[in-house]
Amino acid sequence: MQSRIAASLKSWLDTDPPPAAETGLRFGYGPSASDLLEDVRAAALHPPQATQAEARQFHIDYNAGVGLEPKFWREAALDFRRGAIRRRIALALTSPVGFGERVFSFWADHFTTTPKSYQAMPLQVSLTDEAIRPHVAGRFVDMLKAVTLHPMMLIYLDQNLSVGDHSVYAAGRTDSGLNENLGRELLELHTVGLDGPYDQNDVRETANLLAGLIYRTGQGTIYDVRRAEPGTETILGVDYPEDSVAEIHRLLDNLAAHPATALHLARKLAVHFVADTPPQSLIDRMAEAYLDSAGDLTAMYEVLTGSIVNRSPVPQKLRQPLEWIIACLRALGVSGADVAALPADLFNRVIVDSLGAMGQPFDQCAGPDGWPEHEDEWLAPNLIAARLVWARSAPEQILAALGRQIPDPALLIARHFPRPCGPMVTWSPRAETVQFGVASVLCAPEFLRR
Amino acid sequence: MDNHITCEGGLGDDLVHVATAPGEARLVVINLRGAMDGLDAVQPYGDPALRALRGPDLSVGPEGGAFDLDGFFALHPALETLMPLWRAGQLSFIHAVSTPYRDRRSHFDGQDLLATGSANRDRPDLDDRSGFLNRLVACIPGATLQLAWSSGAMRPLIANGPAPFSNWSPTTQLGLTEADIGLLRHVYGADSGFALALESAVLSEAAQGGKTAARSDAAFVARQLVAEARIATFSIDGWDTHAGQAGIIAGRFRQLAQAILTLRDGLGPVWDKTVVVVVTEFGRTARANGTGGTDHGTGGVAFLAGGAVRGGKVHGRWPGLTDLYAGRDLMPTADVRDYLAAICHAHMGVPADLLSNFVFPGASVACGLVAA
């Protein structure tokens, strides 16, 4: 298992890492809007770390307990997650700009799932790599369909347990019935959003229409018509008389094309990439571009990246822990190939465990609404303390494992900030130790925000 | 003692004793995130409609090992360790209550509304993201607010706002030298968000301890309340029991009971001056769903514990289980904020007009309590 992940990692990283974007700013003409879109298109092409077929086979083998002690199976499951973190970071370090990888992380967060069992961990990797990544530069509706029908989502939001109350399957049984979870979050979180024009009845009807969708380890996602709720469902004013997967596709088409979905997605993108409170005019223009292009995500990115608001020299957004760690590693000159080569115990301790201490355990968000965006949520003293602890010790440990020295803080400032400013420039080089000098740069407001 | 406590009409129940000198009263708010099922915690087994709604596994009442409270309600078996508090008159419940939140049944919205203590999402104080505990602290001269959230790891909205607060999750060893701290103070300079976080982290580092999240939060909070803090809050997560509720919720209840008893033990003599309020964003459906769980609902239950509580009673007006809200949820018969306001008034001595206008906008401060 380990070696397979390591081998596939290596194949993505065969080429040397390209120069950092900061170098492009200084020695080239700076990135253009089309470079950024190209970056997203390139990100969409990376092959999956685990396919759904492999993940399902893992699920079957795990349950059967073939050949391994239970604790070894658990370790094998955790290796998928550790592999996914390593790969997320390695690709982000290899990418010339990194916008595509950040867009991928954004959509993975929009469709947050958390495995409830070890067996399902590879399925989560399959969801992000097969249902989300190929669509990051495509149409939202394709991503929405792939995610909604993916086994991981059916498990996570209890769809696997849901049965129409008046279905053939439920007749004569007292232990089965409807579960609203996926129906609710499909509306509230994934499409029209909390401010969208739906009510409790729409939630119920959506759950009724989805009843019948189920994941079976042997078959993947199937539609079991015996579990379907009979009758016509009415959702946001549209009737869905049939009980079929095609009818569910029609619902997802309609939800993706809804103006409230356009606004919801535009707002979330703007809040994530621009500012906690982005200008409404930007959101409106992004939503318009989405609707005009029949839901093309790149049309929204084009408005987003071309916006005048991005020219503000003042950093607007606090980097969340994973994004911050990646930015730190880039600034320290760590490449994707370096990350692939780090020993497992060091990687697990310095990266995997540290993300948890900083409040963002990888792919283990507490709820289906994803990580919070508002800066206040990440400014808790314990979370900032965890970053300080990391910045003071992790760079030295990682660089030592790669046979390198920790850089001079002044050099780090010069490399990362084309036009350095702020008290950091004066104070960080005066630190008692080079380790703390580096820590004070990485934890400076100018670096914690972007 | 200055009789600033004015109670007219209202709830008809005395929620707390008035025996605490100003500035000595302690308040702890435990927030159960995920929507705790009130009909399973405090089971209305005397209601003839309960059995048909709940199936064989949920809210079974005394026959299933629940502890009879008053001949109508029974306490979930996994809350057994709280029964001595009930018998000692240090535990009560408020049933069929909710925040003013209705119909959308979103955890995140519901939690925001509970945390801000406001009546609807459109209020400007929600935009400011100020929590009711922070506004409450601002009403009590010299008071500070203590947070602990090793379970949630996020700075909670309930405490957010301009009044000073101190917070720390006892998990990270900072280990900075004086020189390191001095340097960081320079680097953070005028950036108040980072500077405040740094100072809180540095100042609170001495406070360490704890094992499981809820118990360590409770132990930490108790130490702070014995010292200078007067108001504290923490969360216990994991109440969203859509499937297999019977097994999951028993573990959650044991953790909640353990947290309350840890508070009692840690507070020692101060327990007599303490009210612990346990709240959740909304209740769950009256009818069990097809997967042995319950879905998002409306009316639910709140707990009051502490030596200052006039306990041994289930408060609230019971609506019955035949008239359900929207045909599915326990009908809320009172705003839980009215009770929170009554406690802040009678126990913490905050004037009624400040409570109904500032801390809980639109709530009525009504209690049957007449000050001695």
Question: DSSP string spanning A131-188?
Answer: IIGGGTTSBHHHHHHHHHTSHHHHHHTTGGGB--TTSTTTTT-SS-B---HHHHHIII
- Residues B19-36 pLDDT 10s: 566 678 899 999 898 899
Strand partners, B274: B26
Write down the pLDDT at residue B62: 95
**A376 with B204: Cβ contact below 8 A:** no
Mean pLDDT of A352-379: 87
Model confidence at A295: pLDDT above 70:
yes
Q: Say whether residue B122 is in contact with chain A using an 8 A CB cutoff.
A: no
How buried is residue A110: exposed, middle or buried, by Cβ count under 10 Å (0-12/13-18/19+)?
A: buried
Run of H or E residues at B54: helix B50-54
Domain boundaries, chain B: 26-167+209-359, 171-206
**B290 with A178: Cβ contact below 8 A:** yes
Q: Looking at the complex, report in whole angstroms how far the Cα of residue A395 sits from the nearest Cα belonging to chain B.
A: 16
Chain A residue closest in CA terms to B238? A366
Run of H or E residues at A378: helix A375-378
- Residues B67-124 pLDDT 10s: 999 999 999 999 999 999 999 999 999 999 999 888 878 777 787 778 878 776 554 4
**A179 with B242: Cβ contact below 8 A:** yes
**A177 with B290: Cβ contact below 8 A:** yes
**B194 with A377: Cβ contact below 8 A:** no
Strand pairing category for B231-237 and B26-33: parallel
**A445 with B188: Cβ contact below 8 A:** yes
Q: Which chain B residues have a beta carbon less than 8 Å from that of A194?
A: 104, 106, 108-109
Angle between helices A381-401 and B192-204 (to 10 degrees): 90
Alpha-carbon distances, residue B104 vs A386, A420, B43 (angstroms): 36, 48, 25
Confidence category of residue A2, pLDDT binned at 50, 70, 90: very low
Model confidence at B209: pLDDT above 50:
no
Mean pLDDT of A301-314: 79
Strand partners, A211: A213
List the one residue out of A313, A267, A319, A414 whose CA is nearest residue A98.
Answer: A319
Max Cα distance, chain B (Å): 69
Among A175, A180, A379, beta carbon nearest to B292: A175
Confidence category of residue A196, pLDDT binned at 50, 70, 90: very high
Coil, strand, or helix at residue B187? helix
Max Cα distance, chain A (Å): 77
Write down the pLDDT at residue A315: 79
* DSSP letters spanning A51-107: -HHHHHHHHHHHHHT-SS-HHHHHHHHHHHHHHHHHHHHHHHHHSSS-HHHHHHHHH
Most A CBs within 10 A among B154, B196, B240, hence the mutation to make, goes to: B154
**B171 with A382: Cβ contact below 8 A:** yes
Among A374, A376, A440, beta carbon nearest to B184: A440
Write down the pLDDT at residue B160: 60
> Angle CA(B295)–CA(B300)–CA(B304) in degrees, nearest 5?
140
- Which of B98-112, B183-197, B306-320 is the most confident on average? B306-320
**A366 with B55: Cβ contact below 8 A:** no
Both tokens of B84, joined, read 């001595």
**B183 with A428: Cβ contact below 8 A:** yes
Model confidence at A18: pLDDT above 60:
no
Q: What is the b/e burial string over A402-429, where b = at least 16 CB atoms within 10 angstroms of the residue's CB? A: beeebbebeebbebbbeeeebbbbebbb
Write down the pLDDT at residue A405: 85
Q: Which chain A residues have a beta carbon less than 8 Å from that of B195?
A: none
Model confidence at A343: pLDDT above 70:
yes
Model confidence at A76: pLDDT above 50:
yes
Model confidence at A107: pLDDT above 80:
yes
Chain B residue closest in CA terms to A357? B172
Q: Whose structure tokens read 């009624």?
A: B352
CB A286 within 8 A of CB A304: yes
- Residues A239-255 pLDDT 10s: 999 999 999 999 999 99
Chain A residue closest in CA terms to B108? A369
Write down the pLDDT at residue B262: 95
Write down the pLDDT at residue B309: 93
Q: Whose structure tokens read 């003042």?
A: A314
Chain A to chain B Cβ contacts (< 8 Å) = 157
**A380 with B204: Cβ contact below 8 A:** no
**B187 with A443: Cβ contact below 8 A:** yes
Q: Looking at the complex, report in whole angstroms how far the Cα of residue A227 sits from the nearest Cα belonging to chain B.
A: 12
> Percent of chain B at pLDDT above 90?
40
**A200 with B109: Cβ contact below 8 A:** no
Residue A440 and residue A408: Cα distance in Å, rounded?
12
Mean pLDDT of B322-329: 94
Under CATH, to which class is B26-167+209-359 assigned?
alpha beta
Please, which residues have CB within 8 angstroms of residue B214's CB and are 6 or more apart in sequence?
B151, B234, B236, B255, B256, B258, B259
Confidence category of residue B291, pLDDT binned at 50, 70, 90: confident
Interface of B with A in 10-69 (CB under 8 A): 55-56
Q: Say whether residue B200 is in contact with chain A using an 8 A CB cutoff.
A: yes
Among A176, A384, A428, beta carbon nearest to B290: A176
Both tokens of A429, joined, read 């080089």
Confidence category of residue A173, pLDDT binned at 50, 70, 90: confident
Q: What is the CA radius of gyration of chain A?
A: 23
**Mean pLDDT of the residues in chain B:** 80
Mean pLDDT of A54-83: 89
Most A CBs within 10 A among B101, B112, B145, B155, hence the mutation to make, goes to: B155
Q: Looking at the complex, report in whole angstroms how far the Cα of residue B34 sits from the nearest Cα belonging to chain A.
A: 9
Least confident interval from A347-351, B244-248, B317-321: B244-248
Between A317 and A316, the more confident residue is A317
Among B153, B174, B292, beta carbon nearest to A388: B174
**B242 with A374: Cβ contact below 8 A:** no
Write down the pLDDT at residue A45: 95
Cα B366 off chain centre by: 19
Confidence category of residue B181, pLDDT binned at 50, 70, 90: confident
The phi-psi region of residue B109 (left if phi > 0; otherwise alpha if psi is between -120 and 50; otherwise beta) is alpha
CB A178 within 8 A of CB A229: yes
Model confidence at B256: pLDDT above 70:
yes
Model confidence at B55: pLDDT above 50:
yes
Least confident interval from B2-6, B92-96, B115-119, B317-321: B2-6
Model confidence at A15: pLDDT above 90:
no
Residue A172's CB is within 10 A of a number of other CB atoms, namely 7
CB B87 within 8 A of CB B312: yes
- Residues A331-341 pLDDT 10s: 999 999 999 99
Most A CBs within 10 A among B188, B281, B287, hence the mutation to make, goes to: B188
Q: Say whether residue B295 is in contact with chain A using an 8 A CB cutoff.
A: yes
Model confidence at B194: pLDDT above 90:
no
Model confidence at A321: pLDDT above 90:
yes
Residue B369 and residue B346: Cα distance in Å, rounded?
7
Between A167 and B110, the more confident residue is A167
Write down the pLDDT at residue B43: 97
DSSP, res B58 = S
Q: Say whether residue B121 is in contact with chain A using an 8 A CB cutoff.
A: no
**A382 with B296: Cβ contact below 8 A:** no
Among B103, B150, B201, beta carbon nearest to A381: B201
**A161 with B291: Cβ contact below 8 A:** yes
Q: Whose structure tokens read 């803080």?
A: A409
A215: Cα within 13 Å, side-chain hemisphere: 23
Most A CBs within 10 A among B32, B291, B325, hence the mutation to make, goes to: B291
